[in-house]
Amino acid sequence: MSQEIEKVKSFIIGSGPAGYTAAIYASRANLSPIMYQGMQPGGQLTTTTEVENFPGYPEGTEGPAMMEDLQKQAERMGADVRWGMVTKADLTERPFKIETDDGKFFEADSVIIATGASAKYLGMESEEAFKGAGVSGCATCDGFFYKEKPVAVVGGGDTAAEDALYLSNIASKVYMIVRRDELRASKVMAQRVIDNPNIEVLWNHVTKEIVGTQSGFIKALNGAILENVKTGEEKKIDIEGFFVAIGHKPNTGLFTDQIKLDDQGYIITAADSTATNIEGVFAAGDVQDHTFRQAITAAGSGCMAAIESERWLGEQ
């Protein structure tokens, strides 16, 4: 018995500002796109609280609310937005063959990859041991559980600064563990951190180990061992939550042996374009952008990908 195959002009892998914008434009171009949202529908912005730098929101907005708005707009335009993951994508010949975790099979005339990027972790055994039991890569997801408790944030960029500021309104104290003697965050965000009385920045420190207790299957994080990179001196901080905000890695595992990637794993696109090395396959958002990584630039590249996809299909 042969497997039923859905045929589609435009298949969008992943959501977020890039994917949803691509879906809006592809729908308006009568490409009848199908989108599979991925593990994190809405992408990284669903883990962000206030978004104040996206045009059109003079009072700011919440990241999850913005993503809900974009999804509704894409669906209103006619996009078929589905919950689930793409598990296999064969891009070696057209039509492209795609399989999903709900057992569906597709043949797509064009593909837009908008799989984004995922949080990086430090890679320590103790960190892995306490994941979900004190260690988290998402402050806005898990911060609620640490109300009036001491926590730490690792990192010195905008994400770490935003996480520390968010947690400062929930936790009893926030330690910010910074490897250097300055923050990489924007000046505005850095000043907000420094001015916040509930945040203590531990300059020139790295994390050596996460410590805690375990009773049966129950684990409880209660501290972290830090090392001063200049003096070598070690110290323990008493915390119950440990939030990692040291950057992201592009979600390109599905395409490693098919699409050209740079040395960091990001998809390489042509200059001033979202086109990949495979004709008919386009990439938008953080999966191909390691420079700006903003919602507005992701949305812009999603627009570009849909327009380029439409034009490419029109030439075939």
Examine the pLDDT at 47 and tell me if it is beyond 70.
no
Exposed/middle/buried for 247, CB within 10 Å: 0-12, 13-18, 19+? middle
Tokens of 48: 């962000």
Q: Return d(Cα 270, Cα 301) in angstroms, integer.
A: 12
The answer for 248, left when phi > 0, alpha when psi is -120 to 50, beta otherwise, is beta
Each residue of 173-221: pLDDT tens digit?
A: 999 999 999 999 999 999 999 999 999 999 999 999 999 998 888 899 9
Q: Are residues 114 and 255 in the same domain?
A: yes
- Parent domain of 157: 121-244
Q: Are residues 159 and 299 in the same domain?
A: no
Tokens of 111: 């593909």
Q: Return d(Cα 33, Cα 11) in angstroms, integer.
A: 6
Using the 3D structure, point to which of 215, 244, 273 is the last residue of a domain. 244
Q: Are residues 145 and 231 in the same domain?
A: yes
The chain-wide mean pLDDT, for the chain, equals 93
Examine the pLDDT at 2 and tell me if it is beyond 70.
no
Q: CA–CA distance from 3 to each of 25, 104, 108, 112, 164 (Å)?
A: 31, 9, 16, 24, 50
Give the pLDDT band of residue 66 (cuts 50, 70, 90).
very high
Give the pLDDT band of residue 1 (cuts 50, 70, 90).
very low
Q: Are residues 87 and 168 in the same domain?
A: no
Examine the pLDDT at 290 and tell me if it is beyond 50.
yes
Cβ neighbours for 135, distance < 8 A, ≥ 6 positions apart: 121, 127, 210, 221, 242, 244
Q: Are residues 60 and 40 in the same domain?
A: yes
pLDDT value for 32: 98
Q: Are residues 234 and 263 in the same domain?
A: no
Q: Which of the 8 DSSP states describes residue 210?
A: E
Q: Which amino acid is at 116?
A: G
Q: Are residues 127 and 109 in the same domain?
A: no
pLDDT value for 65: 92
Q: Are residues 133 and 234 in the same domain?
A: yes
Q: Are residues 208 and 268 in the same domain?
A: no
Give the pLDDT band of residue 48 (cuts 50, 70, 90).
low
Q: Are residues 105 and 138 in the same domain?
A: no
Each residue of 228-282: pLDDT tens digit?
A: 999 999 999 999 999 999 988 899 999 999 999 999 899 999 999 999 999 999 9
Using the 3D structure, point to which of 200, 228, 244 is the last residue of a domain. 244
Q: Return d(Cα 131, Cα 101) in angstroms, integer.
A: 25
Q: Which of the 8 DSSP states describes residue 146?
A: G
Q: CA–CA distance from 130 to each of 19, 98, 176, 215 (Å)?
A: 33, 36, 19, 13
Percent of all residues in the chain with a pLDDT value above 90, rounded to a whole number = 80
Examine the pLDDT at 94 and tell me if it is beyond 50.
yes
Q: How many helices and strands, by DSSP H and E, does the chain display? A: 7, 19
Each residue of 133-174: pLDDT tens digit?
A: 899 888 877 888 899 999 999 999 988 999 999 999 999 999
Mean pLDDT of 55-76: 93
Residue 113 near residue 253 (C-beta atoms within 8 A): no
Mean pLDDT of 21-32: 98
**Residues 243, 246, 247, 249, CA torsion sign:** negative
* Least confident residue range of 33-37, 53-57, 186-190, 197-201: 53-57
Give the pLDDT band of residue 49 (cuts 50, 70, 90).
low
Give the pLDDT band of residue 46 (cuts 50, 70, 90).
confident
pLDDT value for 43: 84
Q: Are residues 105 and 195 in the same domain?
A: no
pLDDT value for 122: 94
pLDDT value for 63: 86
Each residue of 105-121: pLDDT tens digit?
A: 999 999 999 999 887 89
Using the 3D structure, point to which of 244, 267, 289 is the last residue of a domain. 244
Total domains in the fold of the chain = 2
Which residues participate in catalysis according to the annotation?
Answer: 138, 141-142
Q: 34-54: b or e for each residue (b if 16 or more CB lie within 10 Å)? A: bbbbbebbbbbbbbbbebeeb
Domain CATH code at residue 76: 3.50.50.60
**Residues 52, 57, 62, 67, CA torsion sign:** negative
Q: Which residue has the higher pLDDT, 43 or 311?
A: 311
